[in-house]
Amino acid sequence: MKKLLLLLLVGALIGIALLPYLLFRQPDMPEGTDLQSPAFSYQEARLLIDRTAWHPETQTFVRQHEIFETMLREIKKAETFIIADFFLWNPWKGGVKGNRELRLLSVELADAFIQKRIQNPEMPILIVTDPINRVYGNLAPDFYNRMADAGIPVVFTELAYLPESNRMYASQLWFWSKFIDFEKGLIGAKPFLPNLFDANGRKLTLSQYLSLFHFKANHRKVLVAGRRACSGTTCL
C-alpha cells in the first residue's frame, strides 16, 4: 500500500511538472516581422574592425574603432532621417578591472545624436534598443533620458511579443505565474540580488532576473542615415 501511494505521489509530481509544457503554446511572430527581403548585389563592401585590447608590455590600450568612427561620420552626414537600432548600448565594462581608461563609446554615441538634433531640430531621428540596457527595470543609463529630453524618441523593444527562446523555462514561469505574482509581489519587487551586469550597480529584483532568463532580445545592430538623392543640380 505504501509503495502504491509513493508511486501515485511521484506520478502526480511528474504530471504537475509536465503540465506546463502540455498547455503552453508558443506565440506567433508579430505581423510584419517574418518578411524576407529580396536579394541585393553590393558593388562595394568594406570590412570595418573595432578592437580594444590591453597591451601588457606597454600597459596601454590598443584601440581600433573603424566601425564606431564610421557611425559617427554617418550621423553627422545624415540629411533626411536617422534610425538607430542597437542591442547593447550601455557603459558597462564587463570583465575590465581597475581604473583603466576606456573610451566612453555609449555616451559619445548618445552625444552625437543629441548634437545632430540641436543642429537639425526637424529631422526625424528614432532610437530603438533592448530592455537589457535598463536591466529589465528602470536602471537605464542617464544618456537615454538626455536623448529623450532633446526630442529624440527612444523605444525599448517589447520582448513579450517575441517567441520564447528558453522554452523549458518560459513554460514553467507562464504556468506558475497564474498562481504566484512574481512580478509585483513582495519578493519580486524587492531589490536584493547581485547585479550581473555592473558589480558596482544597484541590486536587482527577482522580477528582473525572471525577465533575464527568458533569453529574449532585440539583437539588431543597425544604423540607417538618409541622404538626399542628387542628379546634376537637383536634389530630392
DSSP symbols for 27-38: PPPPTTSS--PP
Q: What is the pLDDT of residue 118?
A: 96
- Per the prediction, the chain carries an average pLDDT of 86
d(CA 216, CA 219): 9
Triad 168, 210, 191: Cα angle to 5°: 160
Q: What is the pLDDT of residue 106?
A: 95
Of the pLDDT bands very low, low, confident and very high (cuts 50, 70, 90), residue 197 is confident
d(CA 8, CA 2): 10
Average pLDDT over residues 189-216: 87
pLDDT tops 70 at residue 184? no
Q: What is the pLDDT of residue 97?
A: 62
Q: What pTM was estimated for this model as a whole?
A: 0.84
Q: What is the pLDDT of residue 142?
A: 96
Strands 125-129 and 234-235: unpaired
pLDDT tens per residue, range 18-77: 888 888 888 777 787 777 888 877 777 889 999 888 888 888 878 899 999 999 999 999
- In 3D space, the residue among 131, 156, 133, 135 whose CA is nearest the CA of residue 208 turns out to be 135
Are 175 and 194 in contact by the 8 Å Cβ rule? The answer is no
